[in-house]
A = this chain, B = another copy of it.
Amino acid sequence: MKIIREVEGASIKRSVDSGTEEQRKAVQDIISSVREKGNAALIDFTEKFDGVLIEETRVPEEEIADAFAEMDTEMIKVIQEAADNIRAFHEKQKQSSWFTTQPDGTMLGQKLTPLDSVGVYVPGGTAAYPSSVLMNVIPAKVAGVERITMVSPPGKDGKLSAGVLVAAKIAGVEEIHKVGGAQAVAALAYGTETISSVDKITGPGNIFVALAKREVFGDVDIDMIAGPSEIVVLADKGQHADEIAADLLSQAEHDALASAVLVTTCEDLAEHVSQEVERQLSTLPREDIARRSISDFGAIYVVDDLEQGVELVNQLAPEHLEILTADPFETMAGIRHAGAIFLGRFSSEPVGDYFAGPNHVLPTNGTARFSSPLNVDEFMKKSSIISYSEKALKENGDKIAKLARLEGLEAHARAVEIRFKKRD
């Protein structure tokens, strides 16, 4: 791995695909077709893009039962346990409605309501991750969303993978459709004869899915558009080079465009991690992908001290951050920008991908500066509540009218004054 000693102006080298004009046009055409022709368009596009002719989009109950039968029972139990951990963590996020009262009888507050409906996109092929199903569906369930519709492109056999179906059932999805790509996003946004439209669409996907989400945004809400995965490890002297290398590679194997970065105060550790990465790389099944990621987007920064390291991490604003220092909690206090922070050597990043409970859908591409992990708040919305008393309006009506007139809005002022003036 490249070892870099100059950190001024450093940033994670990232690859962001925002699509070509042709891709955008293709996506717009697909969306129009689905809006116009509904299910017929879905079936046509599925034949064209997924190479399989399906009769209807909805996954029947027996296919879900088959998936459970196919999967070993130990695995089902582990998925169940992961789901329980994820649910327990997300339940802590749930906010309540609240109100305050004032002595004059005024009541102000904030009412929280779950979204009515959510659509979850799950990619197909090798990226059909059961863990993504859990991470997208469970926060919506905890929020109290009544209707969750999952979509995912079918394989050549016309089916979804057993892992995805099992995870969906365990997470509590009631309705699954075997349709993917921009056409699935269009169906979720605008509805078809058999798929009802939803209020928000979440979940990762390829460039066509990402462009379709951007296109329907505004008519429905969407989650973030995820970029390639990233990890930054911040380590001081005395940490284990082999473990750090393994963690860097666990991100690198995701995608040739993934970024794995070490920031360390220790020149020796930099050298050892670089060697360990090389050694471990050659033993990995996904060596090719991981090697391209490390070579194109990997870097080791050597910094003067931890303070400089912390500032560099904030500048990088990584999706995942591991803190491997003598006192990780103390170091964490200085971190302002990171999607998920893993403390100490027993918090290897995959612990958070699958099992611990916090969400693995995290802000990429430096957006940790202003974005959060997927969470329950994103499946609820707020309404302000204002109940003014007669006394409060009498007391403050003149001030409100004064402010309205300062802004040249006479009808605003009169709306307040009519409550008292007319019957004088």
A→B interface (CB under 8 Å): 74-75, 78-79, 81-82, 89, 92-93, 95, 98, 100, 106-108, 110-111, 113, 115-116, 126, 129-131, 163, 199-200, 218, 220-221, 225, 242-243, 246-247, 249-250, 252-254, 280, 284-286, 290, 328-329, 332, 335-359, 362-363, 365, 367-373, 375, 377, 381-390, 392-393, 396, 399-400, 402-404, 406-416, 418-419, 422
- A387–B332 alpha-carbon span in the complex (Å): 11
- A353–B351 alpha-carbon span in the complex (Å): 47
> For A74, what are the chain B residues with a Cβ–Cβ distance below 8 Å?
402
Copies in the assembly, this chain: 2
Contact B381 A415 (CB under 8 A): no
Contact B407 A347 (CB under 8 A): no
- A78–B398 alpha-carbon span in the complex (Å): 10
> For A285, what are the chain B residues with a Cβ–Cβ distance below 8 Å?
408, 410
- A240–B371 alpha-carbon span in the complex (Å): 46
> For A414, what are the chain B residues with a Cβ–Cβ distance below 8 Å?
246, 249-250, 280, 284
Contact B393 A348 (CB under 8 A): yes
* Residue contacts A-B, CB under 8 angstroms, 6 given: A93-B110, A113-B337, A130-B403, A252-B411, A350-B409, A359-B384
> For A254, what are the chain B residues with a Cβ–Cβ distance below 8 Å?
409
Report the minimum CB–CB distance from A136 to chain B (whole Å). 15
Report the minimum CB–CB distance from A233 to chain B (whole Å). 11
Contact A354 B386 (CB under 8 A): no
Contact A346 B393 (CB under 8 A): yes
Q: Which residue of A95, A338, A385 has the most chain B CB atoms within 10 A of its CB atom? A: A385
Q: Which residue of A75, A328, A411, A422 has the most chain B CB atoms within 10 A of its CB atom? A: A411
Report the minimum CB–CB distance from A97 to chain B (whole Å). 11
